[in-house]
A and B are shown apart, each in its own frame.
Chain A
Amino acid sequence: VRSVTSQPTEVAVRMYNVGFGDCFLLSFAYPNGSRRVRHLLIDCGSTKQARNVGLDKVVDDIAGRVDKLDVLVITHRHADHLSAFGTASGGQTLEGLAPAVVLRPWMDDPKVPADADEPVRSFVGGLHLAQHFAGALEQAITETRAGVARDGQATSPGRRPDLLDFVVGQVANTSAISRLDRIAANTDGRYLCATATPLSLRHLPGVRISVLGPPTYHQLPALRREGKDYKDQYWLTQTGLLQNALAVAGLTSRRAKNLAREALEARDSDAVIGPARWLIARMQDRHEQTLERIVEGIDNALNNTSLILLVEVGTRKLLFPGDAQGESWSWALEYAPNRSRYRELLKNIDLYKVGHHGSRNATPKPLYELWTTQRRELVSLMSTLPGKHGAASRNSEVPRRTLVIALNRLSAALYRTDKLGNAVSLAVSADTRSRDAFAVATDQQ
């Protein structure tokens, strides 16, 4: 007998203390039916774990609370969003939760759709090449540093200490990806792009999921022809930034490695005597900046593949934008033909998962503006770890100070993983029929 469950009465969002990464468990309580609590997991990964809370603890906690996953969402392929699937035990545990539906962005489909044209193929291939390049670069930096340590040279290559970290974050986590591909292949795996009609999943009755991003490859350039100006260069910029990396990576991984190594090794300046010697030392420094920009290009491109999901349940609206940045957001906010509907949807948000760990360009100001006039109280959840990425001196620190101030001003509460101490998670919940703000869940000690 099919249960008559129609509407969850309560929704809880549990934010896990993963360090630098994302892991959110949404649980919906139904008044009746075969399964009274149903679960949706959004991402599970970390590139720098929280002190005293390992990723395995997080996975165990999930497994302890969840008998079965109804829906699994992997917003995008960055390691800090899926690395738990790459470990032997953690990955197995998560796979064991047998998600019925797996949602991922369109470009993560292991089979490029047959109707994809050349630009789409080259973009999708480009993302892979970019990650390949990152892998070669990581190896080169590591080898160079090891070489320097061995030779005991005084000069340290890689004057930008965070370059390696930054690179590591871009490298494809192949074991996690292949596990996810397998899970998705064996169940209902869907690869999504921004669409006008919301998803209604059989496994989550009464829950509507609107997909606001990522746009397809062809959506934004089409607008350029209408002369809509500047932001339209989204994919072009993506492709352009990628191109450097791709061009190098596309040749041979050996060349990519040489590129990195030569840039990082302290130069033996005997070959260059005279006025140019001074210049070459300077070039070396600039060259690292070049590499950093290439890696930044890869990072931006991958962030912008994020699914942007708006979850509606009863009176509640919850926004999970992954790591999507302004460029990808511009589709929903500025360019989509149905943007007025999107903008309506984006008003009166109850819960906001702060985009991209609170970085400077993942909470578009036009989006923020929509909330300044809303009556409903906003609760923001921010999974972040200061000191891992960016620098205050370049106004790129994560989380960005000015954003935190702005969110604090706007939100009834802003919860951050880096303030959780030794706690594995924090959960907030709300009744789906009232309008009171999300509150820290009662089981939270």
Chain B
Amino acid sequence: VTANHAELLRRDAQTWMRVSVLAKDPLYLDSGRVVVTQVRVPGGVLESGPRDHRFHVVDFDLTTGKPPAAPPPPTVNGKPGWEFRDVLARPRGAGALVRNRALHGQHVWGVAAATLARCEQALGRRVPWHFPCAQLFLVPHAFPEANAYYDRWSRAVFFGFVPRADGLDVYSCLSRDVVAHEVTHAILDGLRERFLESVLPDGLAFHEALADVVALLELFSSPEIIEAELEARLRESRQQARSAIVEDELRRSALFGLAAELGRALGRSGGLRRSIDLEPDSKYLSRPEFQEPHRRGEVLVAAVLRTLLGIWTLRICELDPQGRTYLDRAAEEGATAAQQLLNMLLRAIDYLPPVDPEFTDLLDAVLLADEVIVPTQRLDYRSQLATWFTSYGLTAQVRGRSRPVDLRSRSLDYRQISATSLQSDPAEVYRFLWQNGEEIGFKRRYYTDVETISPVVRVGPDGLVHRETIATYSQRVEGNPATLRRHANNALKIPRGFDTEGDAEVVFFGGGVVVFDEFGHARLHVRKSIDDWARQGSVLRRLARLGMPVGADRAIAELHLDQPDDDW
């Protein structure tokens, strides 16, 4: 290699940094040492903290009252720059790792940055936070509580810890899946801010489900964990390699469990959640105990994990179990399947309505998003996903629910509308909606915000680039329930016992996504009609049941604890 080429290769290596993080958490050991893996993080200028252009790790612990601990400089020479000094690369025992708090920052930052990069890669663009600042605070030792949460109001993700008398405190910031889970909340909040405010249970449940799915599937990007798990699980079944055995073994692996250590700190021996153990049943969503967001989210997670498990098993059984590279290949198949599935789900976010998402919208969105990128059906993923979604009752069509509308064949009015402006100007997008109200089912009479306009560029498997512009809008109407019922010509049902007296007002939301192709032509409209009074009726029923104004102010902190659902 000539000096010139070496220089080019070195620069290329800086585009991505390899950052050591814990493979799972401090309980995941190999010969007494915590298993460490490397994740890929986009290169950039690093400052002490670590702090880069998207994340700012603030190691401040109110319980000690100390100013932020001085973390080891993340760069080789101690000055801000692109070079990265990996302090977690050296294998350590759990005790040493836990006690040396200065090392925790790198773990939090590495997992967070890798998670964000993963989502941006799937979406084909930068993902904004909910707030204008590009940096999200990460606080690895925020408070003594077995909890971790994304807090929009503080622009931060807080990680709690449980102090223990033996000094081996339990740090949620050292659980890779917990970090990925919380950062996913922040990511989704940046993409679909009204999901957190959704009154219907699916909004918050979708948050929880996506966060779990990202956390679990991200693990598959670390071959050493998969290989170790396969080694442990498939050694026996290698002789037979029958699909039922393989599937059963895989299913029981630690790969599908979430937050083992934190779960143990909370007194749950099996970790916080193992959604894959939820047997298929199409009735879950209507059961009362599945109205709680985490529990409800588990249904979706289970469907996704079962899809992954199915595809993976299928692939493994095609391999020669006696082959020398059997385990490597098997791990690779898992990583590929996880990556594909995760891509499909993340891309689908763009095709989800911006308000009141329901689980039944997700499969539509996945199939629509994948249709653009992968026009030829990859039977495996799409049909497997559809099958599993159906078996968990995630495709049940609600009567009157608006399905995505293909606008390509409609004759729409583009007079005075500029394709260029449509890519960035809310007023232009609104003009499009205004001008085509009747044709696309947009109701002009309601107050409307055009919320986001995102240009999207993606590369399909054919190697060609697809450009789209995705615009979202929301609509609102507020008033006393009785007034709203009159407005709805009595189509709105007010639940018994709902307080219609006094000056209590409710707000109903509607909204949609319009996808424009590269010629500025609307291709697709996915919406939640504001005047879908059946849906707004369920909003009222839910409000009556919760008896509370549900809003973004309800911190995720409290969501992560048990939610009282039977309260007065």
Which residues of chain A have a CB within 8 Å of any CB of chain B?
Answer: 229-231, 233, 236-237, 239-241, 243-244, 247-248, 250-251, 255, 258-259, 262-263, 265, 267, 271-272, 275-276, 279-280, 282-284, 286-287, 289-290, 293-294, 326, 360-361, 363-365, 394-395, 400, 402-403, 406
Contacts and interface: CB of A to CB of B under 8 A. Distances in A.
In order of increasing CB-CB distance, the 8 nearest A-B pairs are: A271-B67, A262-B65, A403-B568, A240-B266, A282-B154, A360-B567, A360-B568, A290-B143
Interface string B55-88: 0101010111101100000000000000000000
Interface in B214-270: 265-268
B308 interface: no
B158 A283 contact: yes
B151 interface: yes
A263 B63 CA distance: 6
B143 A276 contact: no
Given A243-B162, A247-B163, A280 B144 contact: no
Interface string B531-555: 0000000000000001110000001
A395 B60 contact: no
Given A240-B268, A276-B56, A293-B557, 15 more contacts: A230-B295, A236-B267, A239-B267, A241-B561, A244-B146, A247-B162, A247-B164, A251-B163, A263-B63, A279-B58, A283-B154, A286-B154, A290-B557, A326-B564, A361-B566
Contacts of A243: 146, 162, 265-267
B289 interface: yes
B165 A250 contact: yes
Contacts of A244: 144-146, 162
- Please indicate which of the listed interface residues B65, B162, B267, B295 has the most CB atoms of chain A within 10 Å of its own CB: B267
A148 to B, nearest CB: 15
B146 A279 contact: no
B268 A236 contact: yes
Contact of A361 (B162, B265, B567): B567
B562 interface: yes
Contacts of B547: 395, 402
Given A262-B64, A279-B139, A363 B568 contact: yes
B153 A361 contact: no
Contact of B139 (A263, A275, A283, A289): A283
Interface residues of B, number: 47
Given A247-B162, A247-B165, A293-B145, A361 B60 contact: no
B60 A290 contact: no
B79 to A, nearest CB: 18
B557 to A, nearest CB: 7
Contact of B165 (A240, A251, A279, A395): A251
27 contacts: A230-B292, A233-B268, A236-B266, A236-B268, A243-B267, A244-B144, A244-B162, A247-B162, A248-B144, A272-B60, A275-B135, A279-B139, A280-B62, A284-B62, A286-B158, A286-B555, A286-B557, A287-B62, A287-B143, A294-B145, A326-B566, A360-B567, A360-B568, A361-B564, A365-B568, A400-B568, A406-B568
Interface in B475-497: none
A243 to B, nearest CB: 7
Nearest to A241: B561
A178 to B, nearest CB: 27
Contact of B267 (A240, A248, A289): A240
A279 B58 CA distance: 9
Nearest to B162: A247
A215 B367 CA distance: 50
B278 to A, nearest CB: 11
Given A258-B63, A259-B63, A283-B158, A247 B139 contact: no
B329 interface: no
Contacts of A240: 146, 265-268
A279 B65 contact: no
Contacts of B557: 286, 289-290, 293
Nearest to A284: B62
Nearest to B65: A262
B155 interface: yes
Interface string B109-145: 0000000000000000000000000010101001111
Given A361-B568, A365-B566, A276 B548 contact: no
A259 B62 CA distance: 8
Contacts of B295: 230
Interface in B258-296: 265-268, 289, 292, 295
B156 interface: yes
A406 B499 CA distance: 13
A284 B68 CA distance: 14
Interface string B149-169: 001011110101011110000
Nearest to B290: A230
Contacts of A233: 268, 562
Contacts of A363: 568
B500 to A, nearest CB: 14
A263 B62 contact: yes
Nearest to A294: B145
Nearest to B59: A276
A360 B564 contact: yes
A283 B62 contact: yes
B145 A230 contact: no
Contacts of B546: 395
Interface in B155-205: 155-156, 158, 160, 162-165
B68 A276 contact: yes
A271 B391 CA distance: 57
B172 to A, nearest CB: 12
A430 to B, nearest CB: 27
B51 to A, nearest CB: 9
Contact of A282 (B56, B144, B156, B266): B156
Contacts of A290: 143-145, 160, 557
Contact of B151 (A271, A280, A286): A286
Contacts of B164: 247
Contacts of B562: 233, 237
Contact of A262 (B63, B267, B566): B63
Contacts of A403: 568
A283 B568 contact: no
A276 B568 contact: no
Nearest to A276: B58
A200 B63 CA distance: 52
A394 B557 CA distance: 15
Contacts of B266: 236, 240, 243
A263 B144 CA distance: 11
Given A251-B163, A283-B154, A326-B566, A262 B67 contact: no
B519 to A, nearest CB: 43
B169 to A, nearest CB: 8
Given A243-B267, A247-B144, A279 B155 contact: yes
A240 B63 CA distance: 20
A138 B1 CA distance: 70
Contacts of A275: 56, 135
Contacts of A236: 266-268
Contacts of A326: 564, 566-567
A267 B145 CA distance: 21
B488 to A, nearest CB: 25
Contacts of A258: 63-65
A366 B532 CA distance: 32
A253 to B, nearest CB: 13
Nearest to B51: A275
A287 B265 CA distance: 20
A248 B63 CA distance: 10
Nearest to B156: A279
Nearest to A275: B56
Given A251-B163, A286-B151, A286-B154, A276 B268 contact: no
